Amino acid sequence: MGTPSAPDVVVNTTGLTKRFGSTVALSDVDLEVRRGEVFGWLGPNGAGKTTTLRLLMGFARPTAGAIRVHGRDPWRQPAAVHREVGWLPGDPAFHDRLTGRAHVRMAARLRRSPDDDKTADAVTERLGLDLDRPVGTLSRGNRQKLAVVLALLGGPQLLVLDEPTSGFDPLVQQEFQALVREHAAAGGTVLLSSHVLGEVQRTADRIGVLRAGRLVAVEEMSVLRGRSLHRVQARFDAPVRAADFAGVPGLRDVQVTASTLRCAAPAAALDALVGRLARHRLTDLECTEADLEETFLAYYGGEPGGR
């Protein structure tokens, strides 16, 4: 338990709850996000990810519990909180007639940092965006790039990114991930939400998993990788029974049909499993590592594909 004022705690929530009428959007969430880390905020659509970020920005008021950003209450002191926060909305909207550069100037002036065109130009160049075109003529991906540029203006300590990579092609996605990693490496903090693990697995140090408004898991990415599942398929020369493989710890989705076994096993269970397999005469054996998304869904459920 860190104290809320610990210097390396950037975002801190205790019992954070938000209800809209009788709908519970967020229920009793305790969370700590620290300096220098990239935190993936995961869950199916409607799980409460955006609600959390709105509370964090002070756009909405918690029904119960507390949220602190750099030790401050964003509902009471939004201006002070925003000075250190760059925000990327889930559905960025702009003034269509104005150019990207006009947006950058306006945002920089509101931040009282008029020199920021350099930051903007650097980021713009890396992502490949033309700042001099009216925003109304930009594609969805390019609007998203502009939203990234605006979020990075003024060098905020904390980046709050709501589904940031939707609309990016793979190359831009890589560049964006590099930006995120660099931000964290320089002591910054990144909180990014997504409904698919694949979008954050390369960048995140930790993930929090939200389902129906409840925080169901907080996990180090390295731990999750260690738990990565293997798909095992074995064929024998004689019929086998499911009971033959019962009791292997961590074994999932066991399917036995006549003389074949299909199952999913974490790396830690492979040795025990192979021991059981060896009691029979094998005719064929396949073992492939499942991707992280599959592992993630196996442990935390959720709707594959999200949308």
Partner 1 sequence: MAAEVLRQTVTLRWRGTVTWAVGLAALVLLYGALWPSIRDQPSLTDLLDAMPEVLRSLLATTDLSTPVGYVQAEVLGLTGPLLVVLYAIVSGSASIAGEEGRHRLGLLLAAPVGRARVVLEQSGAVVLGSLVVAASLTLALLTSSVLFGLDLAVGHVVAAGLHLGLLGAVFGVLAVGVGAATGSRVLARAVPAVLAVLAYLLNGLAPLVGWLEPLRPLSPFWQSLGHQPLLTGVSVRGVVVCVAAVAVLAATAVPAFGRRDVMA
Q: Residue 61 — φ and ψ, nearest 5°?
A: -105, 130
The CA distance from 236 to 228, in Å, is 26
Residue position matching structure tokens 């909305």: 89
The CA distance from 92 to 89, in Å, is 5
Q: Report CA 183 to chain centroid distance, whole Å.
A: 16
Write the CA distances from 297 to 35, 269, 290, integer angstroms. 28, 18, 11
Which residues bind to partner 1, rule: CB under 8 A? 54, 57, 59-61, 78-80, 82-83, 85, 87, 89, 91, 93-95, 98, 103, 106-107, 109-112, 150
Q: Pick the closer one to partner 1 by CB: 76 or 279.
A: 76
Q: Pick the closer one to partner 1 by CB: 136 or 304.
A: 136
Amino acid at 52: T
Q: Pick the closer one to partner 1 by CB: 150 or 292.
A: 150
Q: Pick the closer one to partner 1 by CB: 79 or 243.
A: 79
Contacts of 192 (CB under 8 A, 6+ apart): 38, 39, 40, 41, 159, 161, 162, 164, 180, 200, 203, 204
Angle at 25 between CA 23 and CA 28, to 5 degrees: 115
Instruction: Write out the DSSP string of 84-143.
Output: TEEEE-SS----TTSBHHHHHHHHHHHTT-GGGHHHHHHHHHHHT--TTSBGGGS-HHHH
Q: Pick the closer one to partner 1 by CB: 87 or 296.
A: 87
Q: Pick the closer one to partner 1 by CB: 88 or 207.
A: 88
Q: Pick the closer one to partner 1 by CB: 159 or 221.
A: 159
Kindly state the greatest CA–CA separation across the chain: 76
Burial class (CB in 10 A: 0-12, 13-18, 19+), 266: buried
- Shortest separation between residue 20's beta carbon and partner 1, angstroms: 8
- Shortest separation between residue 106's beta carbon and partner 1, angstroms: 5
Nearest by Cα to 52 from 112, 8, 12, 84: 12
Q: Pick the closer one to partner 1 by CB: 27 or 201.
A: 27
Residue 129 gets the label, from left (phi > 0), alpha (psi -120 to 50) or beta, of beta
